[in-house]
Amino acid sequence: MAQQVRGVIARAKGEPVRIETITVPDPGPGEAVVKVQACGVCHTDLHYREGGINDDFPFLLGHEAAGVVESVGEGVTEVAPGDFVILNWRAVCGQCRACKRGRPQYCFATHNAKQKMTLADGTELAPALGIGAFAEKTLVAAGQCTKVDPAASPAAAGLLGCGVMAGLGAAINTADVAAGSSVAVIGCGGVGVSAIQGARLKGAAEIVAVDPVASRREAALRFGATQAVGPDELPDINQRLTAGEGFDYVFEVVGKSATARKAYEATRRGGTLCVVGAGAMDDQVQFNMFELFFDEKRILPSLYGGGDVLQSYERAIALWRAGRVDLEGMITHRVQLAEINEALEQMRSGVALRTCIEI
C-alpha cells in the first residue's frame, strides 16, 4: 500500500522550503522503497531551490543519503529488504556501449524510478537528482541502491552519495593528481574539502585552499590543505609557490564562470583544470582560441567523481575504515528534518562544512 511520509518540498524559486506529507507508492518492477536514515545538505539542493537546475517545481529535495531498503518490486535481485545502502543519482542500464566497455559512468540509458511520488493532492514531485531523500522514505530505481558495509555510519555513508564522492573522485579518478605536485582548490565546501582529502591521499606536495569564508579556510587546513587564502590572494600565492607559472592542478569547486576563468588562469601550461562545480545553464565561460591551443591546459570536467560509482563507494569506505579519509569530521552540524531551512542557511553562509539531516 502507498505510504504517507514527511518530506522537504521546494514549491517555487527562492522560497523557503516546507515539510509536507508526500505519498510514496509501493515499489513497482525494478524499484525499491528506502527508509532514509541520513541525508547531507549539498549545494546542489540550493541550486534546485533557486531554480538553477530546471523549473520542474515542486522538488522533493535531498540527494546525499544512506538508509535501509524497506521493500523491493518485482524482478529486483540486486538488493533486498534490510540491506544498508547508499543512494546514487542514477541506475545504469548494464547493456549499452558504455556499460559493456566497463565505463558505466558514461551509460547512455540511466534511469530513476518510473512511478512518481506525489503531494497529498496528487501533484507529481520531481526528486532532486532522482533521489529525493530529505524524506522519511523515498522511491528509487533499485539500481540506485548500492549495498555497502553496514559498519559505516549512515551520516558518513550518506556523504559518499554525493559531495565526498564528487570531490574525492575528482582528485583520484579524473585529475589523477601526481605525487609531489602543486594543487589549488577553489571553493572549499564539502566537495572542495573532499578534493583536498583526495589530493593529499595522492601525495600532492602543496595544496592551496581558496575560499572567501574564514571558517571554510580553517576546515580546509584541517583536512590537508597546506595553505589557505582568500580569492584575492590567489595571484600572490601563485607567484610565491610557482613563480607565477601556475599550479599543476586547479580544481574549480564553486560552479561559476568567474571562478572557472580564475582557475584556468592559475593553471600552469600543460597543467590540469578540473571542473567540479555545477553551474547554471546560462553562465558562459570564455576562452580565446589562441590560449586554448597554445597553453595546452587540460580542462577535465568531473561528474560524480568520474569513476564507476560502485567501485568508488567501496574504495572510499575502505579508505575511511583505514582512517585515511575523514568523513565524520566533515559533518559539523546534525539537525532534524524540520530544521531544513536553517540547514540550507548554514550551507549558504558557510557556517557548516556539511550539515547532516538525521531522519
Ligand X SMILES: NC(=O)c1ccc[n+]([C@@H]2O[C@H](COP(=O)([O-])OP(=O)(O)OC[C@H]3O[C@@H](n4cnc5c(N)ncnc54)[C@H](O)[C@@H]3O)[C@@H](O)[C@H]2O)c1
Report DSSP state, residue 76. Answer: -
At 221, the amino acid letter reads L
Residue 99 contacts which entry, Zn ion, ligand X, none (Cβ below 5-8 A, type-dependent)? Zn ion
Quick count: other Cβ atoms within 10 Å of Cβ 289? 7
Looking at 27, 158, 190, 246, which residue binds ligand X (CB under 6 A)?
A: 190
Evaluate whether 196 touches 216 at the Cβ level (below 8 Å): no
Query: Cell 558514461 sits at which residue?
Result: 106
State the nearest-atom distance from the C-beta of 64 to Zn ion, in Å. 5
Cα angle 247, 251, 257; round to 5? 110
Residue 278 contacts which entry, Zn ion, ligand X, none (Cβ below 5-8 A, type-dependent)? ligand X
Considering only CA atoms, which of 279, 278, 315, 308 is closest in space to residue 107?
Answer: 308
Evaluate whether 242 touches 182 at the Cβ level (below 8 Å): yes
State the nearest-atom distance from the C-beta of 103 to Zn ion, in Å. 9
Query: Cell 568567474 sits at which residue?
Result: 258
Q: What is the dihedral of CA 90, 96, 97, 99, to 10 degrees?
A: 50
174 binds ligand X (CB under 6 A): no
325 binds ligand X (CB under 6 A): no
Instruction: Determine the Cα–Cα distance for residues 290 and 267; give it in Å rounded to an integer.
Output: 16
DSSP codes, 158-191: HHHTTHHHHHHHIIIIIS-PPTT-EEEEE--SHH
State the nearest-atom distance from the C-beta of 201 to Zn ion, in Å. 21
Interacting span for ligand X (CB under 6 A) from 69-77, 99-107, 184-192, 310-318: 184-192
127 binds ligand X (CB under 6 A): no
357 binds ligand X (CB under 6 A): no
356 binds ligand X (CB under 6 A): no
Closer of 248 and 252 to Zn ion (Cβ): 252
Instruction: Determine the Cα–Cα distance for residues 313 and 222; give it in Å rounded to an integer.
Output: 23
Closer of 115 and 257 to ligand X (Cβ): 257
φ, ψ of residue 227 to 5 degrees: the values are -150, 155
Interacting span for ligand X (CB under 6 A) from 78-86, 199-207, 248-256, 311-319: 248-256
274 binds ligand X (CB under 6 A): no
Do strands 64-72 and 84-87 pair parallel, antiparallel, or not at all (unpaired)?
antiparallel
Looking at 303, 310, 335, 351, which residue binds ligand X (CB under 6 A)?
A: 303
213 binds ligand X (CB under 6 A): yes
Evaluate whether 43 touches 67 at the Cβ level (below 8 Å): no
State the nearest-atom distance from the C-beta of 339 to ligand X, in Å. 17
161 binds ligand X (CB under 6 A): no
Total residues at the site for ligand X (CB under 6 A)? 32
Closer of 24 and 133 to ligand X (Cβ): 133
* Residues found near Zn ion in the complex (CB under 5 A): 42, 44, 92-93, 96, 99, 107, 162
- Judged by the rule CB under 6 A, the positions of this chain that interact with ligand X are 42-44, 47, 162-163, 166, 186-192, 210-213, 216, 231, 253-255, 259, 276-278, 302-304, 347, 350
